[in-house]
Structure 1
């Protein structure tokens, strides 16, 4: 039979709880100081670990304090067992959440370092977090004496029904994983679909791919659609891209001078305009005799897709000014318009009618002069 509860027991239990909570507070302050030091390091993993420890430290201190306080009280074996089980469950949950946070943040840090885009591919982060939480729940159930074998069996049978009911969702999930694993598209890439949508990939989550257009509008594309469509990735195999700018000069221009002047202007643009590639040697290729002049292509280089617009803008302005200064003619398309008087139009109509009458008379004359069958036999 258990002894009666005394004031001495309550004092010991209260002191244990206070000491435990005080230790938890001191530990949290120490971890905060350690976190400030961790932010000064280059590796981001220490920040993640310290953050997780700050999450679990108060709960661990509370569980230890409560366990010590419960040990000082005259509890029945059943109550003591239940208290211990509750504290163990609390510790397992805290450890599970801390582990899920650490592992998910590490995965996010890795994907962020590879894609260099805030928001990155959250599909891997979510899968990692759900997996760790599921393992923690199974460990908790097993610790509490609940058999997980029937639960796993039920999940296996029910999973088939869930898979049939969520075909589209699962298709998008696996398509998103396939896209990221195959590295055909990564967050930060500039893509253009065969349907015309284009923009920077902001995020690839478990269901959709988010694309931000240059107008700052968001395009939401299901992962299964993105995996099956024809797509151009302007950041693969490298971000740098060539710019083809069409130009024309008059027929009276000296083509050697045109090529030299154009290269000088293009080289200056490559060196001075943000987004240009300074070590790229611009190319000029003549290709067409047009109605107005001689057409050619100027080949420049941009660091990435979004830089091309400023480069084209500055190049056209600089080239136009240089052509005007050097007297190089920029052709203007023209058309010759013939205006006829009324009497000329009437005469033209009479001539056209006469030609039509003569054309109709030719077959008749051929039939009249053609020999008969008797003449052919004779």
Structure 2
């Protein structure tokens, strides 16, 4: 009797997990919040294209072609971002900065020209999208802004960002627009200066 009881509990637990995954899979399929072909990123860091949604598990294909198998009961209760919904096109914000003393109107005009060129000629860009730029911070050594582009689907952000940064850097060099780098300035009090003068630097020490 004891053996039958333990066996019954084991079978019950196995069926419970199976049924949980089964109903979760049905929930995923009918809700259409995740579909084959969607690009998703889980809160745990895993990301990739949804390759298949079976009754018990969902398969995700990573960039490197590895497959991630996730039980449906875990996926249905997980927090994730779907980069394909509500539509495949998505904004691509890119953070940039220029040095103090820059002509901000010129920076805006030049940056937008490069962005429109990328939208028109780089595969993955949305040709009819009009990029826009917003300044947002006076930083320690730079004036920061964000330029907004748009890509046809999530994976396109790689090549669009790549081409935009290359072309922008080349254009900034041509236009004489300086991209800043961190600078730290040190100041000595009169007391510190006196101490330093009392102990002159000796390269031989």
TM bucket (normalised to shorter chain) is 0.7 to 0.9
d(CA) in 2 for partners of 1:165, 1:269: 54
- 8 Å CA contact retained: 1:189, 1:233: yes
1:42 corresponds in structure 2 to none
Q: Which residue of 2 aligns with 1:203?
A: 52
- In the TM superposition, what is the alpha-carbon distance from 1:336 to its structure 2 partner? 1.7
Over aligned residues, Cα RMSD in angstroms?
2.1
Q: CA 1:233/1:341 → structure 2, altered by over 3 Å: closer, same or farther?
A: same
- Partner secondary structure for residue 37 of structure 2: coil
The gaps in structure 1 that reach 5 residues or longer are: 1-160, 348-378
Corresponding residue of 1:313? 162
Q: In the alignment, is residue 281 of structure 1 matched against residue 130 of structure 2?
A: yes
Tell me which residue corresponds to 1:71.
none
Return the offset for 1:329.
Answer: 1.3
Cα deviation per residue 1:263-297 (whole Å; 9 max; x = unaligned)?
10000000111110001000100000011111000
2:94 aligned partner = 245
Deviations 1:195-250 (A, max 9, x none): 11111000111211110111211111110000001111000100111111000011
Q: Secondary structure at the match of 1:280?
A: coil
Any residues of structure 2 matched to 1:346-361 within 5 Å, and which? Answer: none
Indicate the residue corresponding to 1:343 in structure 2.
Answer: 195
- Counting only pairs closer than 5 Å after superposition, residues 1-378 of structure 1 correspond to structure 2 as 165-337=14-186, 343-344=195-196
Q: Is the 8 A contact 1:163 1:170 kept in 2?
A: no
Total equivalences in the alignment: 187
TM-score, structure 2 as length reference: 0.85
SS across alignment from 1:166: helix
Per the TM alignment, residue 338 of structure 1 is displaced from its structure 2 partner at its CA by 5.3
Q: How far apart are residue 165 of structure 1 and its match?
A: 4.0
1:163: how far off? 5.8
Q: Counterparts of 2:96 and 2:45 in 1: how far apart (Å)?
A: 26
SS in 1 for 2:177: coil
CA-to-aligned-CA distance 1:337-361 (integer Å, 9 cap, x gap): 45867834989xxxxxxxxxxxxxx
Give TM-score, length-normalised by structure 1: 0.47
- The structure showing larger relative contact order (alpha-carbon pairs under 8 Å, at least 6 residues apart) is 2
